[in-house]
């Protein structure tokens, strides 16, 4: 399960703005579909996308760059000296960006923004083991949990 979470790197309210469930064992191709989901749900794309190294496929980096999204995804250790075309501009820019202190600083916010919401869904909303079968049904359960999480997170604002 992949979640897209919006919030501040300084903490505060976090909102689940995208959810992607697949039965594929790798996250390498998840960035493009997740950007589609975020855009469909919010009407806009994020300026910056924070994702773990499991999303660092070159196609994913290109998908983000083609849509004007700055991908902050660590370069996997085995790929540090890997081969890539020096003329592949989005990949060259991504690798250079990830060497900067600013990218490292922004990326550190990922744990508090993204992993916290994953942990809350699993711990507080039961999105760990599913009592339904099939991708469509599991997606419905996960979406209900995400909506519940967002409502609980924003309840004080919504009720005032």
pLDDT tens digits, residue range 18-57?
A: 999 888 888 888 899 999 999 999 999 999 999 988 888 8
The model's pLDDT over 80-135, given as tens digits with 9 standing for 90+, comes to 555 566 678 999 999 999 999 999 998 988 888 888 888 888 888 777 778 888 99
* pLDDT, position 61: 93
* pLDDT, position 83: 57
CA nearest neighbour of 71 among 45, 89, 97: 97
* pLDDT, position 16: 92
Q: What CATH number is attached to the domain comprising 94?
A: 3.30.420
- Phi, psi torsion values for 129, nearest 5 degrees: -120, 130
For residue 102, CA distances in Å to 25, 29, 62, 160 come to 31, 26, 21, 37
* pLDDT, position 32: 92
Domain with 87, as residue range(s), is: 2-159
* pLDDT, position 87: 73
Query: Number of structural domains, the chain?
Result: 1
Tokens 């300026």 belong to 47
Tokens 């760990």 belong to 128
* pLDDT, position 119: 84
* pLDDT, position 100: 95
């Amino acid at each position: 399960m992949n979640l897209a979470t919006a919030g501040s790197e300084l903490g505060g309210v976090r909102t689940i703005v995208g959810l992607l469930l697949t039965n594929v064992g790798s996250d390498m191709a998840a960035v493009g579909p997740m950007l589609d989901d975020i855009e469909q749900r919010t009407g806009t794309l994020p300026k910056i996308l924070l994702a773990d190294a499991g999303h660092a496929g070159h196609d994913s980096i290109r998908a983000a760059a083609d849509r004007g999204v700055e991908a902050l995804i660590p370069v996997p250790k085995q790929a540090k000296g890997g081969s890539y075309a020096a003329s592949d501009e989005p990949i060259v820019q991504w690798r250079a960006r990830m060497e900067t202190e600013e990218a490292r600083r922004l990326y550190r916010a990922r744990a508090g923004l993204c992993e916290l919401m994953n942990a809350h869904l699993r711990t507080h909303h039961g999105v760990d083991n599913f009592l339904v079968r099939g991708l469509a049904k599991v997606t419905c359960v996960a979406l209900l949990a995400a909506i519940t999480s967002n409502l609980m997170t924003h309840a004080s604002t919504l009720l005032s």
